[in-house]
Amino acid sequence: MSTVLTAKLKLHATPDQRHALRATQLAYRDALNYVGRYAFAHGKLSNAVALQDGTYQEIRARFGLPAQMACSVPRQVGATYKTLWTKVKANSATRAAGKTKKRYRGLDQAPKYVSPTLTYQLGHDYTFKTEPQVSLLTLNGRVIVPYTGYARPVALIQHSARIGAARLWRHKPRKQFYLLVSLEIDHPDPIPEHHQRVVGVDVGQRYLAVATDLQNHMAFFPGNETRAKADHYARLRKRWQHKGTRAATRRLVVICGRERRLKQERHHRISRRVVDAYPHSLIGLENLTHIRERARRKHGKKATVKQRRANQHAAQWAFAELHSYIAYKALLAGSVAVEVDAYHTSQACPRCGYTAGTLRVHCGAQPPREGAAVHLSGVPLHTPCRFDRRAHCGAEKAARPAGLGEHGCLVGTPRCVER
């Protein structure tokens, strides 16, 4: 089994090398915008081969890009249009089902590439030297630049990891170049029998994450302070958007970057604490795909101020990002994360599985503070049937941990209630 990571390398370039790298970035961005307009004019084309056939010679002549970069530009534009077409089709299906009236407008005009991030292909555009140096292709030829980074990614690059494509990124305030290298790491396949501990992680707004095991040992990660900062950034963003001047737009970019880094830092910290607290464990995560569309909320003029604020909080926080951080860090630590159906996890009793509109128990147990996390900690090792259904649907039963009865309940508690 393999895991893909991104190594961030700091490039120590001379002034002449920085000028060459910056010119290459800007030429690459201009080529992306040119091919994007070409694809839009030819029926919003997403086929990378057709785009390359129609634009390769013009890219080489007008922008002076090397051969491999001239091939990478149509592939990147084609991937962008494929993503936009996927969103258009999903929006059409949602509108046909009556779930929304909004029309996706991503293909109303050609996409505009603002970030001058440059994509390099290993062996063609960049190569690593024996010393901590990297050879990068520019408009005027190759430049050899020394780099530094964290000890573990540098060791992986020099020894065991399989190196993929890289992106050249420039930190605008510091005018510093970084190389973001894709690394693929092999590790043994996770074996469920080797995971002696089962953990459930529930995400939310008041608590960004709540982790618990079968012994009802819980770890709470509150989000009040982080959410207050995010709300502050949201108010600033609304103010600058309303102003609409060029200076306000520049300030808006800064505020959006701060908000994004705040959430990423918090997610990295929570995921690291969860993985370190429960090593060699089976971690259950809720499958929250399309949760915003499935949740019933009032919008527009029908919603109160409190409901609008709740909608804003639910729409702005990146639950999938936290799940992805936990998943890849768990694999590197010898654990494994499993997606679990989120249906009624917050309304089912974690002991007997009784389901009600509010978290109530049917077997006389004391309801925990966070029932969904307790419920998730038991789902990965239970039968494929839901807790709130009796296990007689014909599904093959999985191995149960010691102390659990026929339907996943604790021994000595009543059987699951049939709905």
What are 327-337's pLDDT values in tens digits? 889 888 888 88
For residues 402 and 290, give the distance between their C-alpha atoms in angstroms, rounded to a whole number. Answer: 35
Q: How confident is the model at residue 403 (pLDDT cuts 50, 70, 90)?
A: very low
Phi-psi region of 376 (alpha: psi -120 to 50; beta: other; left: phi over 0): alpha
| Beta carbons of 193 and 279 less than 8 angstroms apart | no
Closest CA to 120 of 130, 132, 128: 128
> What ranges make up the beta strands (E) of 263-396?
281-287, 336-341
419 contacts: CB under 8 Å, gap ≥ 6? 355, 388, 389
- Buried (b) or exposed (e) across 303-321, using 16+ Cβ within 10 A? eeeeeeeebebeeebebee
For residues 119 and 115, give the distance between their C-alpha atoms in angstroms, rounded to a whole number. Answer: 12
Length of the chain: 419
φ, ψ dihedrals at 88, nearest 5°: -65, -45
What mean pLDDT is predicted for residues 379-397? 39
Whether the per-residue pLDDT at 269 is higher than 50: the answer is yes
| Beta carbons of 348 and 256 less than 8 angstroms apart | no
Between 203 and 366, the higher pLDDT residue? 203
How far, CA to CA in Å, does 180 sit from each of 5, 8, 147?
10, 5, 12
Whether the per-residue pLDDT at 402 is higher than 60: the answer is no
Q: What is the pLDDT of residue 81?
A: 97
Q: How confident is the model at residue 377 (pLDDT cuts 50, 70, 90)?
A: low
Query: Taking all residues of the chain, what is their mean pLDDT, rounded to a whole number?
Result: 81
- Other beta carbons within 10 Å of 127: 16
Whether the per-residue pLDDT at 366 is higher than 70: the answer is no
For residues 310 and 287, give the distance between their C-alpha atoms in angstroms, rounded to a whole number. Answer: 21
What are 290-319's pLDDT values in tens digits? 766 666 677 677 778 777 777 776 667 788
Q: What is the pLDDT of residue 417?
A: 32
For residues 374 and 408, give the distance between their C-alpha atoms in angstroms, rounded to a whole number. Answer: 13
φ, ψ dihedrals at 208, nearest 5°: -60, -30
- Buried (b) or exposed (e) across 21-32, using 16+ Cβ within 10 A? bbebbebbbbbb
Tokens of residue 96, six digits: 């046909």
For residues 266 and 83, give the distance between their C-alpha atoms in angstroms, rounded to a whole number. Answer: 28
* Domain parsing of the chain, residue ranges: 2-186, 192-341
Q: What is the pLDDT of residue 344?
A: 67
Alpha helices in 244-290 (DSSP H): 246-277
Helix (H, G, I), strand (E, B) or coil at 181: strand
Q: What is the pLDDT of residue 65?
A: 94
What mean pLDDT is predicted for residues 42-50? 95
Q: What is the pLDDT of residue 346?
A: 67
Mean pLDDT is lowest, of 78-92, 132-146, 159-173, for 159-173
Q: 3-state DSSP: the chain helix, strand, coil percent, rounded to 5?
A: 45, 20, 35
Mean pLDDT is lowest, of 105-119, 123-137, 301-315, 381-395, for 381-395
Angle 318-322-324 (CA atoms, 0-180°, nearest 5)? 110
Helix (H, G, I), strand (E, B) or coil at 38: helix
Mean pLDDT is lowest, of 31-40, 157-166, 174-183, 293-302, for 293-302
Q: Which residue has the tokens 């006389």?
A: 364
Q: Give the best-scoring range by mean pLDDT among 166-175, 338-347, 387-396.
A: 166-175
Whether the per-residue pLDDT at 365 is higher than 70: the answer is no
Between 338 and 61, the higher pLDDT residue? 61
Q: What is the pLDDT of residue 355?
A: 66
Helix (H, G, I), strand (E, B) or coil at 5: strand
Q: Which residue has the tokens 């077409």?
A: 85
Whether the per-residue pLDDT at 364 is higher than 70: the answer is no
How far, CA to CA in Å, does 259 sit from each of 115, 144, 184, 234, 411?
18, 35, 29, 8, 47
306 contacts: CB under 8 Å, gap ≥ 6? none
Q: What is the pLDDT of residue 397?
A: 39
- Pairing relation of β-strands 281-287 and 197-203? parallel
Q: What is the pLDDT of residue 172?
A: 86
For residues 282 and 295, give the distance between their C-alpha atoms in angstroms, rounded to a whole number. Answer: 28
How far, CA to CA in Å, does 28 sit from each of 117, 235, 391?
8, 35, 58
Helix (H, G, I), strand (E, B) or coil at 321: helix
Tokens of residue 302, six digits: 């029908």
Q: At what angle do helices 48-58 and 15-41 cross, to 10 degrees?
A: 120
Between 203 and 83, the higher pLDDT residue? 83
For residues 261 and 266, give the distance between their C-alpha atoms in angstroms, rounded to a whole number. Answer: 8
Alpha helices in 334-396 (DSSP H): 371-378
pTM score: 0.74
Q: What is the pLDDT of residue 96?
A: 92
